[in-house]
Structure 1
Amino acid sequence: MAEKRVVITGMGLVSPVGNTVNESWDNIKAGKSGIDWITLFDANLVANRTAGEVKNLDLEGKFGKREMRRMDRAQMLALVAAEEALQDAGIEITPENQYDVGCVIGSGIGGITTVVEAFNGFNAKGHRGVSPVIV
């Protein structure tokens, strides 16, 4: 089988140190930390109350409330990074090239919020407490 070549044409990044590749890299070079007090959930029940959270990113303005209910936060962050990568590459997805464009995403534990919510919903209400789109 012939080897296929892969070319990285664009990069996108959403991280605790910045919401773009350039912002993240500038903050890393400046020695800034993305670690801060946990704000996304009540951390009073856990021993460590600090974490690296993505901040200052208007997901509601980008996706709207309706779409936000349908997606996990990790999915939204991945889409923001993918959009930056496409812009960085100068690629516009069209019907002609839609099957030729790919995206590689790295995530530590993306989607766990949705899994926990489904677990809690199932425990509280049985199958009626779980969204049909959880799969």
Structure 2
Amino acid sequence: MDSGIRTVTADSLAAVLNDRGFRAEKVDWTGGREALKSATSGVVFHLVLGNGAKGAYHDFTYFTSFRLEGLSLEDICSDWNRGRRFARLHTRDGLLNMEMDVILGTGVQDGYLAVTLELWNQLLNELISALREEAARLSPAAATPAAAN
């Protein structure tokens, strides 16, 4: 019986991104972890490989970060985390961070990784819209939020 995909590599995740029209660049991450860098709607995001050994990771995390001025990061986090599933917001060092974990567990089907990318893309675009709306509500002349990475 086929148990599906149980591990990923930077190359296998890059192929998923490329197959769906996203660029994928290998980058170094804090602590020597492997990661990929990509973007959607002008916002940079990363896929950070997690537990396992090089070439056989059992999970990874989608991650992006924003530097926002004039907005309440705590309120944004609280509102988002109360109303959304799958991706969570948190703050660190004055940045608003969004993360979504992907766990392969005992195996996933071929399309699962593509679906997680579609979900991440949708949630990231929803966050961008929510940040623009909040900035416009507070100051009609407020600038568009800028990605921190």
In which range does the TM-score fall when normalised by the shorter chain? Answer: under 0.3
Query: Computing the radius of gyration over CA atoms, which structure comes out larger, 1 or 2?
Result: 1
TM-score, scaled to structure 1: 0.28
The structure with the greater share of residues assigned to strand is 2
